[in-house]
Structure 1
């Protein structure tokens, strides 16, 4: 899926991103995209319960 556009949803917030790379069962986001979901900032490390759909 790397390099593909996808809609990522966490809670009630959704963003459209281009996947920079990922391992099976996980999704890597850029720091900018991650900060849109993590109120505590990138120091949180991981978010659980994210959903994504390829566009």
Structure 2
């Protein structure tokens, strides 16, 4: 029973995240700015590796 409950919580969280991300994309608002976060994380790495 506990494994089944954990599965439902994970699945529900995934669907809520997907709906929020879809609404953010369709409304052209950045509710979840993943592209900015990824860019902020990897820009120093790219500069270090490629000297840009």
Q: TM-score, normalised by structure 1?
A: 0.20
Q: Determine which structure has the larger strand proportion and give its number.
A: 1
Q: TM-score, normalised by structure 2?
A: 0.20
Higher relative contact order, structure no. (Cα contacts within 8 Å, ≥ 6 residues apart): 1
Q: Determine which structure has the larger helix proportion and give its number.
A: 2
- Rg comparison, structure with higher value: 2
